[in-house]
Amino acid sequence: MDWRPLVLLAHVLAAFWWIAGYVGTNVCTEIARRSTTDEECRSALLISNRLDRSLNQIGGTLAGLTGLLALIVLDCSLFTPWVAASIVLFAMVVAGGAVFWRRYGMGIDAAVAAGDWETVRHQLREPRIVGFSRLENVAVLAIIFLMVIRPGS
């Protein structure tokens, strides 16, 4: 049996799962950032956290694992430029989530638990945080572009 179509389908579905969580988390965080009430902010952050755990983290893990499996099954080289660039960008997004966003999220969660909405809003609007988020968005769009267009193939 030719496993290539099934592995590719698994990778595409995992990528959709990841991107759904990524976009949902970002949209909810942006809603929280622009909220005008504490309740609206709290609700948006609650949904953002749930989407992050149920879609973004799990989908990202599955996209990475199925991507590695696809490399093997589809006999792709790690040195193919679009493959290498996608892996590097994905690793950067994952590292950003594991290091940068985890620490930042813990600070937000602590301020939410304390009911300190001034700190929550200040942290959500901090230029360094917003800038990092926008750079990460560009990296994710680049990954999608590289996976779909596969330049040089």
The burial class, CB within 10 Å (0-12 / 13-18 / 19+), for 20 is middle
Q: Are 94 and 60 in contact (CB under 8 A)?
A: yes
* Assigned token pair, 134: 């926008």
Output the pLDDT for position 37: 95
What is the pLDDT tens value at each position of the chain, 153 positions in all? 899 999 999 999 999 999 999 999 999 999 999 999 999 999 999 999 999 999 999 999 999 999 999 999 999 999 999 999 999 999 999 999 889 888 999 999 999 999 999 999 999 999 999 999 999 999 999 999 999 999 987
Model pTM score? 0.92
Distance CA 56, CA 99 (A): 15
Output the pLDDT for position 152: 85
Output the pLDDT for position 153: 79
Output the pLDDT for position 86: 97
